[in-house]
Amino acid sequence: MAAANQTYYELYRATSIGNALADSLDTLISQRRIEPQLAMRVLQNFDQAMASVIGDKVKARLQFKGHLDTYRFCDEVWTFIIKDVNFKCDQTTTVLAERVKIVACQSKEKA
Amino acid sequence: MAVAPPQSVAEVASLVKRLYQPGNATIIVQIQDQLQLLQRSGEGWQLADALLGDNDINVRFFGALTFTVKLNNDGASLDEATSQHILQRLVSWFVRLVNATDKPLVIRKLCSTLVTFFTRVPFAWKRPLLHLICAFSVGPETLEDVEAITTSTEELLQGLSTHQYVALLWFTASLADELTKMEYSGPKHARLHVQMEGEIGDAVALMRFAMSGQSNGPSVALHCFSTWATYAQPMWPGKPDALACLQGLLPDAMNLLMSEKSEGDALTVFIDLLESYTSFFDAQNLDRLAQFLGEVEGPRLQTHLAEEGASHHGAGPFVIAYGIAVLQDIIERPDHPRSQVTMPLLLSMLRGFGYPGDDDELSGLTIEFWNTYTETVTDLCFSEEDPSELNTPWVIHARQVSHEVVDSLWKKLYTPPGSITKDWGDSEKEGFATFRADTTDLFSSMYVFLREDMLTRLINLAVEALREKSWRALEASIFSLNAIADNVLEDQSSDRHLTSLFQSGGLYHEMGDFTQKIPVQVRKTAIDMIGNYGAYMERHAEALPDALRFLFASLATPSFTTASAKSISSLCYTCRHSLTGELDGFLAQYQNYLVSPTCEPYGKEKVIGAIAAIAQALSPESTKVRPLAAMLDNVEKDIAYAKEQMAGGDAEMGQITGVAALQCLASIGRALQVPDDVPINLYDDDDTPAGQRNFWQTTEEGQSIQQRIIGCFSILEVLGNDGEVVDAACEVIRTGFTETVPGPFVLPPSVTVSFLQQCTISTPQVEAVLHTADLLIVQHSRSDSIRIPSEITAVFNHTVGLLLSLGQPSTDPGIAQSGIDILVRLFPTYVAVLLSATEDILTQILNFTLLAIEAAEPLPKRSALEFWSRLLRTASPTNASDEATMCSRIVDAFGQAVASSFIRQVSGQANRSELDYVSAPLRVLVTLPRSKQWLEAPLWAVAQPDEVKNRFLLQVVGLRGGVKTRDVVREFWVGCRGL
């Protein structure tokens, strides 16, 4: 229930779909079709929907292995920099990356 | 026809009704425009007031909405008298509509309007909740000073009807909800948050009253309670009095856990609070919940598990949430009552009968708890500096519990028999697969804590199941072993345990015996295991023959073809050095597979790639020729067959055969790439004869192989108009690009060039060809690579031809982007190629990039902006090369046009997400001498105040390309867009 009121991270606004949404909202505001407050509310709903969809609906998973180069935990946000990472997607595809940065936030507010 | 402005309230009401009915989208938009105009007008207040009295629910809703819009727009500038008058009207409507039992849609909207009044108007609305309670008790008009009322809130509430206090709960919840979104720190909202502390007394009185009430009162009160807790969590950590007041409601809410009618809602609220706000509960409350679990919900859940299996029961998620909330006690104090109550229930939920995804819904849910449990236990163990602490009673207990979890989950992993799955739909299958995947992750974490004990336990289970030919138990065991494969293989000392399973005559001997009736899933999981334990097999070559015999035999079974081809590939890649002696045998097996009925493109591609990987391990290079020639024989046969099919009019099959042939060729190419982890002999360069290093280009045998590979592209003569074929051909060429030493697939650059030259803008997937050419430039721009200016010139000329034949970038944004990307790659190594173009061509191509910047399509725009970044950077006065001088001349000629284009973008034409891309070349432009002059003229044309434009120009130029330019650009763009 509190999920409806919870504040959500704005991480996903920087994704392609988040950028596209923000661009569309900007256009609607510029054309005076919506108020900026509504756009803000839409973006908040987007944050919530992304968190909930990625948490509940996305079933895809991958495993990865690499060398942990740097890690830090600041303001409830974990940051990991991993080198020579080997991703295994559903046991079928393997993707190699020289450097990967993982930013991980609490999925639920902890008291 | 445009919608005419309404002339009366009745006409407005009519428009509102039309707005909420389905109809022509254009008309709806026009209606919305007219109504929005009215909402923003000075008469908006009167209009809102009038609409609330309408008979239509949508019109009344719109009336409340209009009040909200007015408050949002003008609320901050209202004088005190007007604001009091508006409040009086709102309260009056609220009381009237609630008493008239209006629909929740209108009442809730009015609640939200009242909250907007509370937050937007600059004068404090004192004790809003008490004000509304009194308005119901004594009437809205008679109330003068709410603070003068001496009757207690509890007493006033006694006289309210259910409708009235439910409406008040909606308002109270809406208040907390809205204030949660407003920052606590900062002066802007400080007054409101202070007021909220004063409201908690009335809010708690109302919620307590409603929790003991009838109808939907308790349920709405629980929701309201949850909303206030959400508000309190971030806002009141330093406000113990207000928080304690709210926490005082917990016993009332707990009582609802025992009410048959409200149990479901109460469980949901408690689950949510336990999950997200554990500190809201003090020790006494947590013990009361344990008592409730032990005496009420626990026995109910146990009975349910015994009678109905692990099917859904509301107490299940509650136990899990409670377990996570008191996890520290559960782990470190196994004798504590909280642990004693919770742990048996959590373990029981894994043992209830039923299949996950079907009739067992609880075991899957508990995995979340066991993940948290395992992670916490592991963290605690790893943080112990004294190893003797790892033998403390709680650690021993945790190991025991974890073993029980492994055993229980292992049984839950059993695949159901066909008699059950025949009735399963997609959702059950997906649910079961998700459970297995979640268990995989959990086992992987548990291994870190249990280590060898877990491995030996699972191996023993597998060996026992194998001995008893208990196939489903075997499958569950090897599935579990697959889950921990990566962790197990990190430690070579585990190999001794694995031997009992992989030894000759063991698992794969049984699996390879196709006379035995073994369920399909068992063999599939066994095939996966080979891929997962490849590193073990690499270290124990004696395990390879049984495994590979089984895999090649599996190729003949349709349901195993894909999985076994994948595992053959994985095993051959990993163990290539141990398998070189088997190469001829594998080639013979491959020939058998090609003529078997199960032969299909994916299997062919994987297996031929696997064989090529073994060939890669041969040394010297000349020994690779024979197996490679044999593999090429197969590809060539397919190419010839595809051509025959095409000639015979069977275009569909011809296409499939042709694509498959090229994909096999690409697979061979990929497999022949030198692995990244190959040891480097520091003296190799001195010892290896030059002729051998260039074997593929200098010897007749080597050249012959390369010619045969190039010859396979002849398929393009008949299938050049097929996108998949073009894609596959590009893939073949690209396999050689990553190589740093000559190889059979390291083809001369002319192959790529001539491929590109055969393309026109109507060639399907021409973007893939352009991308391949792009990679060619990148490869030959590396410091240690050979320069190929004439080939790059040919690539450039053809690319320019393609771009110019497009006319506009929007004709085909994909080609435009790929083409401009090639121009980008010319910098810095091959910039001379660009500059050697004739003035006319150069002008046309630069104009094309400017068109791409102006176009709506984002990808060509980004590439074009990147192109100009590079060109402008090369023209920088700090560069002293000939190229710099020539680029400088170009910039002198195009500077004005480029600057105009950038200004158009930053003044609103670009989208927000494109601003960083636009800022990049602008940052370079301002470092050039005449940039200010170029930027001035187009900037003055922008419809913004002069001081804004002046400030922007001064800031952008003053920052001299600094990172902060991005912020300045963003700020200017926001102003221009009117955001």
- State which H helix or E strand residue A102 sits in: strand A93-105
A1 contacts on B by Cβ (under 8 Å):
223, 226-227, 268-269, 272
Partner-chain contact B279 A111, CB within 8 Å: yes
Q: Two tokens at B606? A: 């994987």
Q: Which of B112, B103, B26, B115 is nearest to B60 (CA)?
A: B103
Q: Which of A5, A19, A36 sits opposite B180 (nearest CB)?
A: A5
A3 contacts on B by Cβ (under 8 Å):
272
Summarised one tens digit per residue, pLDDT across range B872-886 is 999 987 877 888 999
> What pLDDT is attached to residue B32?
86
> What pLDDT is attached to residue B956?
93
Residue of B nearest to A33 (CA): B33
Which band of pLDDT confidence, cut at 50, 70 and 90, is reported for residue A5? very low
Partner-chain contact A19 B229, CB within 8 Å: no
Q: How many CA atoms lie within 13 A of B946 on its CB side?
A: 0
B233 contacts on A by Cβ (under 8 Å):
109, 111
Tell me the pLDDT of chain A averaged across its residues.
Answer: 84
Say how many residues make up chain B. 979
Helix, strand, coil % in chain B, rounded to nearest 5: 75, 0, 25
For chain B, domain boundaries: 1-121, 748-871, 875-979
Q: How far apart are CA B772 and CA B489, in angstroms?
A: 38
A10 contacts on B by Cβ (under 8 Å):
none
Q: Which of B121, B261, B128 is nearest to B201 (CA)?
A: B128
Residues of A with CB under 8 A from a CB of B: 1-7, 19-20, 22-23, 26-27, 29-30, 33, 35-37, 44, 59, 61, 63, 65, 91-92, 96, 108-111
Residue pairs between chains A and B whose CB atoms are closer than 8 Å: 78
> What pLDDT is attached to residue B82?
93
Mean pLDDT across B205-224: 92
Q: Which of A1, A91, A109 sits opposite B226 (nearest CB)?
A: A1
Q: Two tokens at B334? A: 């196994």
Summarised one tens digit per residue, pLDDT across range B702-757 is 999 999 999 999 999 999 889 999 999 999 999 999 888 889 999 999 999 999 99
Running DSSP on this structure, what letter comes out for residue B356?
A: B
**Least confident interval from B178-187, B332-341, B404-413:** B178-187
For chain A, domain boundaries: 11-57, 63-105
> What pLDDT is attached to residue B439?
95
**Side chain identity at residue B708, one-letter code:** R
Question: Is the CATH number 3.30.460.10 carried by domain A63-105?
Answer: no
Q: Two tokens at A70? A: 């740097």
Q: CB within 8 A of B192, min separation 6: which ones?
A: B118, B119, B179, B182
Specify whether the CB–CB gap between B154 and B205 falls below 8 A: yes
Summarised one tens digit per residue, pLDDT across range B232-269 is 998 998 899 999 999 999 999 999 998 888 989 999 99
Q: What are phi and psi of A40, to 5 degrees?
A: -60, -40
Q: Kindly give the residue spans of alpha helices, DSSP state H, lying in B20-56.
A: 25-40, 44-51
User: Which residue would you say has higher pLDDT here, B693 or B375?
Assistant: B375
**Least confident interval from B119-133, B174-188, B222-236, B448-462:** B174-188
Chain A interface includes B486 (CB < 8 A): yes
Mean pLDDT across B486-512: 86
Tell me the pLDDT of chain B averaged across its residues.
Answer: 91
Mean pLDDT across B625-643: 96
Residue of B nearest to A36 (CA): B979
Summarised one tens digit per residue, pLDDT across range B520-536 is 899 999 998 988 888 88
Mean pLDDT across B662-678: 88
Quote the minimal CA–CA distance from A82 to chain B in Å. 17
Q: Is the pLDDT of residue A6 over 70?
A: no
Which band of pLDDT confidence, cut at 50, 70 and 90, is reported for residue B677? low
B908 contacts on A by Cβ (under 8 Å):
30
Helix axes B561-574, B601-616, angle to 10 degrees: 10
Q: Two tokens at B578? A: 């141990």
Q: Is the pLDDT of residue B125 over 80?
A: yes
Which band of pLDDT confidence, cut at 50, 70 and 90, is reported for residue B678? low
Environment class of residue B356 by beta-carbon count within 10 Å: exposed (0-12), middle (13-18) or buried (19+)? buried
> What pLDDT is attached to residue A3?
40
Quote the minimal CA–CA distance from A79 to chain B in Å. 18
Quote the minimal CA–CA distance from B650 to chain A in Å. 32
Which fold does the domain A11-57 belong to in CATH?
Helix Hairpins (1.10.287)
Collapsing DSSP states into helix, strand and coil, what is residue B724? Answer: helix
Collapsing DSSP states into helix, strand and coil, what is residue B491? Answer: coil
Which residues, listed in sequence order, are joined to residue A80 by a DSSP beta bridge? A71, A102
Q: How far apart are CA B214 and CA B386, in angstroms?
A: 59
User: Which residue would you say has higher pLDDT here, B693 or B161?
Assistant: B161
> What pLDDT is attached to residue B36?
87
Partner-chain contact B231 A59, CB within 8 Å: no
Q: How far apart are CA B924 and CA B947, in angstroms?
A: 24
Q: How many CA atoms lie within 13 A of B217 on its CB side?
A: 18
Which band of pLDDT confidence, cut at 50, 70 and 90, is reported for residue B679? low
> What pLDDT is attached to residue B389?
67
Which band of pLDDT confidence, cut at 50, 70 and 90, is reported for residue B189? confident
B979 contacts on A by Cβ (under 8 Å):
26, 29-30, 36
> What pLDDT is attached to residue A2?
37
Q: What is the largest CA-CA distance in chain B?
A: 108
**Side chain identity at residue B149, one-letter code:** I
Partner-chain contact B177 A5, CB within 8 Å: yes
> What pLDDT is attached to residue B683?
54
Summarised one tens digit per residue, pLDDT across range B354-393 is 999 988 889 999 998 999 999 999 988 887 777 666 778 8
Quote the minimal CA–CA distance from A111 to chain B in Å. 5
Q: Which of B945, B922, B944 is nearest to B932 (CA)?
A: B922
Place of tokens 């979340």: B368
- Please state, as a whole number, how many other Cβ atoms lie within 10 Å of the Cβ of residue B917: 20
Place of tokens 């009295």: B53
Q: Which of B288, B401, B396, B275 is nearest to B343 (CA)?
A: B401
B276 contacts on A by Cβ (under 8 Å):
2, 6, 108-111
Q: CB within 8 A of B214, min separation 6: which ones?
A: B162
A77-89/A62-74 β-pairing: antiparallel
B272 contacts on A by Cβ (under 8 Å):
1-3
Q: How far apart are CA B8 and CA B704, in angstroms?
A: 90
- Please state, as a whole number, how many other Cβ atoms lie within 10 Å of the Cβ of residue B597: 7
Residue of B nearest to A96 (CA): B676
Partner-chain contact A2 B227, CB within 8 Å: yes
Which band of pLDDT confidence, cut at 50, 70 and 90, is reported for residue B681? low
Q: Is the pLDDT of residue B690 over 60?
A: no
Q: CB within 8 A of B425, min separation 6: which ones?
A: none
Partner-chain contact B908 A65, CB within 8 Å: no
> What pLDDT is attached to residue A4?
41
**Side chain identity at residue B918, one-letter code:** V
Chain A interface includes B955 (CB < 8 A): no
Q: How far apart are CA B396 and CA B375, in angstroms?
A: 16
Q: How far apart are CA B532 and CA B126, in angstroms?
A: 68
Chain A interface includes B181 (CB < 8 A): yes
Specify whether the CB–CB gap between B411 and B360 falls below 8 A: no
Which band of pLDDT confidence, cut at 50, 70 and 90, is reported for residue B307? confident
Same fold, A11-57 and A63-105: no
> What pLDDT is attached to residue B213?
82
Partner-chain contact A65 B486, CB within 8 Å: yes
- Please state, as a whole number, how many other Cβ atoms lie within 10 Å of the Cβ of residue B687: 8
pTM score, whole prediction: 0.72
> What pLDDT is attached to residue A92?
63
* Residues above pLDDT 90, as percent of chain B: 68
Which band of pLDDT confidence, cut at 50, 70 and 90, is reported for residue B506? confident
Chain A interface includes B911 (CB < 8 A): yes
Prediction ipTM score: 0.79
Q: Two tokens at B591? A: 């020939």
Q: How far apart are CA B976 and CA B187, in angstroms?
A: 29
Partner-chain contact B276 A22, CB within 8 Å: no
Which band of pLDDT confidence, cut at 50, 70 and 90, is reported for residue B609? very high
Chain A interface includes B548 (CB < 8 A): no
